[in-house]
Amino acid sequence: MIASALIFLIQTVGNLFVIAALLRFMMQVFRVPFRNAFAQFIVALTDFAVKPLRRIVPGFYGLDWACLLLAFVVEAAVVLAAYWLNGFPFALAGGGVWTVMLGLTTVRLLTLGIYLIIGLTLVRAVLTWVNPHTPLMPVVFALTEPFLRPLRRIVPMIAQVDITPLVLFIVCQLVLMVPIFALEKALLASL
């Protein structure tokens, strides 16, 4: 019972921090202005870990790869802690278990990234209807537009309503259900 509570706590706190690191990386990829209060919050939340990692991992192509490495390392710690608290026999499993754990970390990181896209799209859809002039909207718009723009070329508007967020939800769910789930299932079968 205590192990389950610890696993829940570690996964919740760890995954929230991973999401913050992924958001910081995505904001750099999509050139989101960092003058926004939300962007400054994400930077302040992750700075203590990103700045030391920059000494080890330099930026390439104008991107701070230390954010992505931080997300990967924290997610690896979450995965390992969850298995350790569940009593997984790491000592008896052999050397191949570490490759599987790195694969599971990658799969979980991809899953969190897709859920992040879904969440940002949902926030954008709600803000568009409720308060499109909120200070959060430029950040959410810049993070979701690269995913919605290609869909707008394919999906027509229906009665002046943009249904591309709904199509993006469906595409993201299909990606989670088919390739991501299959990869995770294959990795878990090799344990």
Expressed as residue numbers, the domain containing 111 is 2-189
pLDDT at 62 over 80: no
Nearest to 170 by CA among 147, 188, 186: 147
Q: Is the pTM of this model over 0.85?
A: yes
What percent of the chain clears pLDDT 90, i.e. is strictly above it?
73
Binning pLDDT at 50, 70 and 90, where does residue 89 land?
A: confident
Tokens describing residue 117 = 């896209």
CA distances 124 to 20, 143, 162, Å, are 18, 10, 12
Total of domains in the chain: 1
